Structure 1
Amino acid sequence: MIERADQLVLNYVSKAADAAHGVLRADQRLDFAKRLRARIEEERHGSQNAREVSKVLARFGDPVALVEREARRLVEAGVPTMRTPMGSAEEGQPSGEESSTRRFPTIVDDADAPPGVQTYRRIARESLGRGRGLPFAGLRRMAMSSANPMATGGRDARTLVKEHPRDAAAMVVLVVAALLLPFDLPPVAIFEIPVLVWAAGAVLVLFSESWSLRDKLLGIGAPLLGYSAGGVLVGGLRVGSEPGLQAFFAQFYSVSGTMFMIGTGLGVVWLTYRLLDVS
């Protein structure tokens, strides 16, 4: 969604502005935030895709590091900041407004690198974008955030829900569908209520713009796979030497609901992991 992509940019600039408190003067913070926002919009090239915007922001790096670099630039130019009082600026240096450059400091990708280096950088970014590295690192970072917020830059389950409310709601609906299975609820027409709830969650997932089609199919297909394939496998093993289809179907229906719940859990975990990867 357009709102989500814009919200990612606003959150990033807000973090940088917050980090500048106590480091830059008020006018410097305002100028810094304006130039940072303009530079992000330039790198973004008008993209409204949340995944692409997230990659652009990742290239800028930690907002705190950007603030520190801006402070060093001003000090080296002889411009006083909150950390350097007016009297400590070198005599003869122009004032902050006169010496401040209007161009935001370059990021890594802006450096004039040879074509071969640029190619390898692109390959590395694509490899990271495919999720290579430690498995489920995003989930571990989110779990660590409660003990060490600096490990995730302040991101946790609460910020994830705040930035992706509809995606979080879709995953909650899938979980509710699985939790309704043990209850003997009357069907609506010919459809069981858990099936209707699962279908509603599946529609929400399919209409999401945060996940790729592959991720969507894995997330909503895992419960069905658990119900069918898992029910057949486990039910067949539990039948043992007892003959007849009646015994098989009895075992199938006794375990298929549990396998559906397990499949739902795995599907939601995968969607959460990929949503963390996007964010």
Structure 2
Amino acid sequence: MIERADQLVLNYVSKAADAAHGVLRADQRLDFAKRLRARIEVERRGSQNAREVSKVLARFGDPAALVEREARRLAEEGVSTMRAAEAGPPAQPEEQGSTRRFPTIVDDGDVPAGVQAYRKIARESLGKGRGLPFAGLRRVAMSSANPMATGGRDARTLVKEHPRDAAAMVILVVAALLLPFDLPPLAIFEIPVVVWAIGAALVLFSESWNLRDRLLGIGAPLLGYSVGGVLVGGLRVGSEPGLQAFFAQFYSVSGTMFMIGTGLGVVWLAYRLLDVS
């Protein structure tokens, strides 16, 4: 959503501004933050997709590292900073503290346009490749030991960045867990069905996942209930004849198959939400 994408940018610039305290002077921090925000907007190219904006911010790297690069660049140009002022007298008057350009980011450089085009094709090819299975999920598991493996993103930060999406997945799980309980219906609807419908609606109208992922996430429980119930129920009928025996077996296993489908769907949604591959 638009608000979420803009919030990601604001959070990133705020982290950079916080990291600049004690390193850059007040005017330098303001100039640095303005240029950083402007550069992000250029790289963002008007995108309002939170996932695409996250990828753009990941290209910029750690905000603290950008501050260090800015401080080194100012020092090389002989411009005084807070750090330089603490270390000794400034090499230049404070009036020269403002800067005119922003340091290059990861994929910048004075390279020919043809090389840049081939680099873009290579990145897209790598992005579409299969790679190692569940490599992104393994990176997330490693994030507690090495935060740089996921750009500082872990389960806690993902919940903070995507509260509604996390709530939707929790609601789907709750709906599955309510199935074994014999709860009174709400009007003509069973309570687990109502709860699942709420979670499915939140997933369906979310912009954090693409349409295929949303349909897989909310369709897995339905497939488990219908297809899984028919297959497993049919196998359990065995030699017993008649529809009555089949329906008895179907209803005895369809709830369990719905719970399994919900678990698989939520795992898929969580994995796609991480998006660290």
Aligned with residue 98 of structure 1, among 73, 96, 99: 96
Which string of whole-angstrom CA distances, capped at 9 and with x for unpartnered residues, describes residues 103-146 of structure 1?
Answer: 11122444343333222322244346558433334433434344
Report the equivalent of 2:154: 156
C-alpha contact 2:31 2:99 (8 A) present in aligned 1:
no
C-alpha contact 2:31 2:98 (8 A) present in aligned 1:
no
Query: How far, CA to CA, are the matches of 1:207 and 1:131 in structure 2?
Result: 28
Query: How far, CA to CA, are the matches of 1:82 and 1:241 in structure 2?
Result: 84
Q: Which blocks of at least 5 consecutive residues in structure 1 are unaligned?
A: none
Amino acid in structure 1 at the alignment position of 2:274: L
C-alpha contact 2:61 2:151 (8 A) present in aligned 1:
no
Report the equivalent of 1:121: 119
Which string of whole-angstrom CA distances, capped at 9 and with x for unpartnered residues, describes residues 230-271 of structure 1?
Answer: 122222333333443333322221111111111111111111
Report the equivalent of 1:78: 78
TM alignment of 1:1-279, pairs within 5 A:
1-85=1-85, 94-98=92-96, 100-127=98-125, 130=128, 132-277=130-275
Which string of whole-angstrom CA distances, capped at 9 and with x for unpartnered residues, describes residues 4-57 of structure 1?
Answer: 011110111122223334443444333222211121122223332212222221
State which drifts further: 15-24 or 122-131. 122-131
Superposed displacement of residue 99, structure 1? 6.0
C-alpha contact 1:51 1:278 (8 A) present in aligned 2:
no
C-alpha contact 1:131 1:277 (8 A) present in aligned 2:
no
Could you state the TM-score of these two structures normalised by the residue count of structure 1? 0.86
Name the Cα RMSD after superposition: 2.7
C-alpha contact 1:79 1:89 (8 A) present in aligned 2:
no
Could you state the TM-score of these two structures normalised by the residue count of structure 2? 0.87
Secondary structure of the corresponding residue to residue 42 of structure 1: helix
Amino acid in structure 2 at the alignment position of 1:38: A
Query: How far, CA to CA, are the matches of 1:227 and 1:214 in structure 2?
Result: 20
Identity %: 87
State which drifts further: 153-162 or 68-77. 153-162
Distance 1:189 1:130, change over 3 A: farther
Query: How far, CA to CA, are the matches of 1:128 and 1:208 in structure 2?
Result: 27
Secondary structure of the corresponding residue to residue 124 of structure 2: helix
C-alpha contact 1:218 1:267 (8 A) present in aligned 2:
yes
C-alpha contact 1:77 1:99 (8 A) present in aligned 2:
no
C-alpha contact 2:176 2:259 (8 A) present in aligned 1:
yes
C-alpha contact 1:50 1:278 (8 A) present in aligned 2:
no
Q: Which blocks of at least 5 consecutive residues in structure 2 are unaligned?
A: none
Query: How far, CA to CA, are the matches of 1:79 and 1:11 in structure 2?
Result: 28
C-alpha contact 2:229 2:257 (8 A) present in aligned 1:
yes
Query: How far, CA to CA, are the matches of 2:94 and 2:126 in structure 1?
Result: 40
Amino acid in structure 2 at the alignment position of 1:266: L
Query: How far, CA to CA, are the matches of 2:105 and 2:116 in structure 1?
Result: 14
